[in-house]
A and B are shown apart, each in its own frame.
Chain A
Amino acid sequence: DADVTQTPRNRITKTGKRIMLECSQTKGHDRMYWYRQDPGLGLRLIYYSFDVKDINKGEISDGYSVSRQAQAKFSLSLESAIPNQTALYFCATSDGGQGVGQPQHFGDGTRLSIL
């Protein structure tokens, strides 16, 4: 089983719909992240959470919200989807701690298309 699991893997929906993307992890990491990836733009951070009670906006949080339901679960919501939110979405996790830190580990992504 994957350490970082994203659901759904693919989703097609219409403008104005509410969408939730789920992420769960079995790595026991305290930090979780949501990114979107667009062709030619690389990975951009939407939201991040250092623990259940700590949620922060990333570079491109407008139009998105998140919920950290438990240490292992971090969901991303689009309250009213719009076509320019069509992208590949990744969830990632990392261990906290001091020093130089640990690498982030990514899920397989959710491909979201908004018509």
Chain B
Amino acid sequence: EDKVVQSPLSLVVHEGDTVTLNCSYEVTNFRSLLWYKQEKKAPTFLFMLTSSGIEKKSGRLSSILDKKELFSILNITATQTGDSAVYLCAVRLDFGGSQGNLIFGKGTKLSVKP
């Protein structure tokens, strides 16, 4: 069964801290891995990763994929209260009629205290 596992499920830090969120996966046919940020409404897209070892970066957020060990990490440096959200990891499948579908992890709830 295809699955995506995120850890930790929740995390509380103080402003200025650096955090690392983890995502491991077991899927039959991997195409890409995506990270989303969900505040109170719609998940918003952060990164899509397809190749091992190539870091994607956007401001204080960065992410990298390891296709050999089947995991990805999302790093947030110098956290701010506005980073408080649920971070979702999803793997895109690449086979048959499910091509392009996403399998989501349960998310990591990040709380950043002032």
Measured CB to CB, the residues of A under 8 A from B are: 4, 31, 33, 40-45, 48, 50, 56, 58, 90, 94, 96, 100-101, 103-109
Contact = CB atoms under 8 A, between A and B. Distances in A.
Given A103-B48, A104-B102, A106-B43, A43 B88 contact: yes
A45 B42 contact: no
**Is chain B's binding surface mostly helix, strand, loop or mixed?**
strand
A42 B102 contact: no
A105 B41 CA distance: 12
Contacts of B104: 42-44
B100 A101 contact: yes
A94 B100 contact: yes
Contacts of A104: 34, 45, 102
A4 B48 CA distance: 20
**Is chain A's binding surface mostly helix, strand, loop or mixed?**
strand
Given A56-B97, A107-B42, A108-B41, A100 B48 contact: yes
Contact of B31 (A31, A41, A100, A103): A100
Interface residues of B, number: 23
B41 A31 contact: no
B106 A42 contact: yes
A26 B101 CA distance: 21
A45 B101 contact: yes
Contacts of B43: 43, 90, 106
Contact of B42 (A42, A48, A109): A109
A24 B24 CA distance: 33
B32 A100 contact: yes
Contacts of A58: 101
